[in-house]
């Protein structure tokens, strides 16, 4: 049984920002996953670059999603599969060029422990005109 969150009130989320030097643009890293699940849990991460309320085109925008199952002898599988960091942690990365956003989404399937929770982290970066910046956010729960 998969329980997917339909509204932000039923999600765990975090975000962080950093200024892209020399551009007045702000890079935001977002991490989100469902708060309540019976078997599997949806997750999403993104990196967005904005100048005020408007999208700001950067040379490169990257996002690394790291999902971890927490708990005694916890295990984790993801769809898409990602790179295995450890038995309970997977990582997926994506980089876009000449745009303002890079995002990743999928489904986490934790196992191996009765009291398993999920942590979803988003490490975002942007590059424009020789300058770069990074922001990191982690949703725990």
pLDDT, tens digit, for every residue of 104-139? 999 998 887 666 789 999 999 999 989 999 999 999
2.60.40, 3.30.230, 1.10.3210, 1.10.3470: CATH of 26-140? 2.60.40
Which SS3 state, helix, strand or coil, does residue 37 take? Answer: coil
Sequence ranges of the domains in the chain: 26-140
Neighbours of 44 (CB within 10 A): 20
Tell me the per-residue pLDDT of 58-96, one tens digit each, with 9 for 90 and over. Answer: 999 999 999 999 888 888 888 888 899 999 999 999 999
- Measuring CA to CA, how many Å separate 131 from each of 17, 60, 97? 16, 11, 15
Q: Residue 89 is inside which H or E element, if any?
A: strand 89-99
Positive or negative, the CA dihedral 80, 84, 88, 94 is: negative
Tell me the per-residue pLDDT of 38-49, one tens digit each, with 9 for 90 and over. Answer: 788 899 999 999
Residue pair 114/55 in contact (Cβ under 8 Å)? The answer is: no
């Amino acid at each position: 049984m998969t329980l997917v969150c339909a509204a932000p009130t039923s999600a765990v989320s975090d975000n962080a920002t950093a200024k892209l030097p020399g551009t007045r643009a702000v890079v935001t890293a977002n991490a989100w996953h469902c708060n309540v699940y019976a078997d599997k849990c949806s997750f999403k991460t993104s990196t967005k670059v904005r100048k005020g309320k408007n999208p700001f085109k950067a040379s490169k925008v990257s996002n690394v999603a790291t999902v971890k199952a927490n708990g005694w002898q916890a295990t984790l599988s993801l769809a898409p599969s990602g790179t295995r960091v450890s038995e309970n942690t997977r990582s997926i990365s994506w980089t876009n060029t000449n745009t303002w956003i890079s995002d990743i989404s999928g489904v986490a399937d934790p196992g191996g422990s009765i009291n398993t929770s999920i942590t979803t982290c988003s490490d975002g970066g942007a590059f424009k005109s020789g300058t770069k910046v990074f922001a990191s956010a982690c949703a725990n729960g």
